[in-house]
Amino acid sequence: MAKDFPTREENYSQWYQDLVVKADLAENSDVKGCMVIKPYGYSIWEKMQAALDKMFKETGHQNAYFPLFIPKSFFSKEASHVDGFAKECAVVTHYRLKASPDGKGVIVDETAKLEEELIVRPTSETIIWNSYRNWIQSYRDLPILINQWANVVRWEMRTRLFLRTTEFLWQEGHTAHATKEEAIEEAERMLDVYTEFAQTFMALPVLRGTKTANERFAGALETYCIEALMQDGKALQAGTSHFLGQNFAKAFDVKYATKEGKQEFVWATSWGVSTRLMGALVMAHSDDDGLVLPPKLAPIQVVIVPIYKNVEQLNTVSETAIKIKKALEAKGISVKYDNRDTHKPGWKFAEYEFKGVPVRIAIGPRDIENQTVEVARRDTKEKAIYQITDIDLKILHLLDQIQDNIYKKAVDFQNANTFRADTYEEFQELIEKGGFVLAHWDGTSETELKIKEDTKATIRCIPLHNKLENGKCILTGKPSTQRVVFAKAY
């Protein structure tokens, strides 16, 4: 397979875009700003969904579904929420088309105007809390722990496959609690779930922290986040969990009767990750030869390629290859046996390397005689000869090694690209190079915005359990008690 696209060093942005398309993950749609997720890409998303869904249910959450359309009046009930999303909303004003007078097209039927305009879901807090008003009367009805797998629409001017599209897929959790403490505990618990998923399944190290007031989710009192570092030195927000306080409960008049019979407003959280994680997976691990996928999320974990000269040899090789395939599948490993006669083995090797398949097994007549196979791993490109005896256990162990190695490589990269700055000049130099920069900040929005204006860097997070350290703000020189994490970001 020809890899006719730039290297990461030549043009990282184009390398990413081309890799996503050429590896059959996704492509741009004729609908401006939207994407088509192709089967190979969607199968990775399905693996992400399955892992996250299991983790959500293990923490007591249930799945539900709420409408795609939200009455415009709902958005007006929470001021900061409507202000935060107003410019991204798609609005439905009519519900019918009719043929144009010349018969050559269709036009909006002006008589079919909606009495109330509908917002196409950019996020679901308002529609869900309108339902919660009917679900919650007493402390006995709490907590409510709901998750929704859905699509959302946020009108974007500049889009990039998976990272920023007008329509994208995600999950959004929405929970209701009797006390502030329970809600904060929930928001932090879900941040832990996201952290575990990113590190265990995506092999992606993340920084955990809270957002500044400027970067907070619209309508939240606190936004917790995980931030990952991509290979070009830019940060990517990989997940968020929000403590919403009582803002939405008050907006939709959601109260409950306490054990003592008092009426109290409910406390809320929301939390979500999206198909943006697909972009993170590609950008964090892949190389100039194609995708590098962690085994736990790879659609095909092992591919077996037969080497043969004639049908008789293929039949002999296939007998052993299929036995190996069944043994691996019995261990829960996803395996593809590629016995197509339309492509040469070398072409297949290149294809599966490009698509990031973690392990490739080649087997030919000589291997049958020696009871061996050739095993190649995608992460290091090392090859080794394995005895067929106990091949299932050996490959299972190898997949664990690959998962661990991909994570270690990403950790080493993050550590090597995390810096400390004590002066504004030093900060500007480091930010230009890329990476996480830990620096003192005076805590004001004005300083944060000025730094962003000067350098395009934002405060990615204030680390959880941050070590206190007296210092001076890099810009103003005012006193500071801790360093925060700056980076340029997607």
Of 443, 455, 435, 447, nearest to 475 (Cα)? 447
Instruction: Decide: 474 and 423 in contact? Cβ < 8 Å.
Output: yes
Q: In this predicted structure, what is the pLDDT of residue 160?
A: 95
Same domain, 465 and 366: no
Same domain, 51 and 152: yes
Q: In this predicted structure, what is the pLDDT of residue 5?
A: 85
- Is 104 among the domain residues? no
Q: What are the tokens at 247?
A: 């803002």
pLDDT of 483 higher than 80? yes
- Residues of the chain with pLDDT > 90, as a percent, come to 94
Same domain, 263 and 371: no
Same domain, 275 and 312: no
Same domain, 128 and 271: yes
Boundary residue ending a domain (285, 311, 341): 285
Give me the half-sphere count of Cα atoms (radius 13 Å) on the Cβ side of residue 438: 17
Same domain, 154 and 268: yes
Q: In this predicted structure, what is the pLDDT of residue 81?
A: 83
Instruction: Decide: 376 and 359 in contact? Cβ < 8 Å.
Output: yes
Helix (H) or strand (E) holding 365, with range, is helix 365-370
Same domain, 267 and 353: no
pLDDT tens digits for range 301-317: 999 999 999 999 999 99
- Is 340 among the domain residues? yes
DSSP state of 201: T
203-224 average pLDDT score: 96
Amino acid at 295: P
- Is 113 among the domain residues? no
Instruction: Decide: 166 and 160 in contact? Cβ < 8 Å.
Output: no
pLDDT of 86 higher than 90? no
Same domain, 316 and 373: yes
Boundary residue ending a domain (259, 285, 311): 285
- Residues of the chain with pLDDT > 70, as a percent, come to 99
Instruction: Decide: 421 and 430 in contact? Cβ < 8 Å.
Output: yes
pLDDT tens digits for range 422-437: 999 999 999 999 999 9
- Is 77 among the domain residues? no
Q: Domain of 278: which CATH number?
A: 3.30.930.10
Residue indicated by tokens 């892992």 = 51
Instruction: Decide: 488 and 452 in contact? Cβ < 8 Å.
Output: no
Q: Domain of 438: which CATH number?
A: 3.30.110.30
Phi, psi of 348 (to 5 degrees): -65, -40
Measured from the Cβ of residue 367, the count of other Cβ atoms closer than 10 Å reads 21
- Is 249 among the domain residues? yes
Boundary residue ending a domain (404, 435, 453): 404
Q: In this predicted structure, what is the pLDDT of residue 29?
A: 96
Of 47, 92, 87, nearest to 67 (Cα)? 92
- Is 174 among the domain residues? yes
Range of the domain at 29: 12-67+122-285
pLDDT tens digits for range 21-50: 999 999 999 999 999 999 999 999 999 999
pLDDT of 348 higher than 70? yes
Q: Domain of 393: which CATH number?
A: 3.40.50.800
- Is 50 among the domain residues? yes
273-278 average pLDDT score: 98
Same domain, 129 and 209: yes
- Is 99 among the domain residues? no
Question: How many separate domains does the chain show?
Answer: 3
pLDDT of 76 higher than 90? no
Same domain, 222 and 354: no
Same domain, 358 and 240: no
What own/partner pairs with CB < 8 Å and gap ≥ 24 does 441-447 have? 441/473, 441/474, 441/475, 441/480, 441/483, 441/484, 442/473, 442/475, 442/476, 442/478, 442/479, 442/480, 443/480, 444/476, 445/212, 445/213, 445/214, 447/473, 447/475, 447/476
Of 238, 313, 315, 233, nearest to 272 (Cα)? 238
Measured from the Cβ of residue 109, the count of other Cβ atoms closer than 10 Å reads 13
Q: In this predicted structure, what is the pLDDT of residue 80?
A: 81
Which range has highest mean pLDDT (78-87, 157-166, 176-185)?
Answer: 176-185
211-224 average pLDDT score: 96
Confidence of residue 3 (pLDDT cuts 50, 70, 90): low
Same domain, 181 and 243: yes
320-347 average pLDDT score: 97
Instruction: Decide: 328 and 375 in contact? Cβ < 8 Å.
Output: no
Q: In this predicted structure, what is the pLDDT of residue 133?
A: 98
Q: In this predicted structure, what is the pLDDT of residue 384?
A: 98
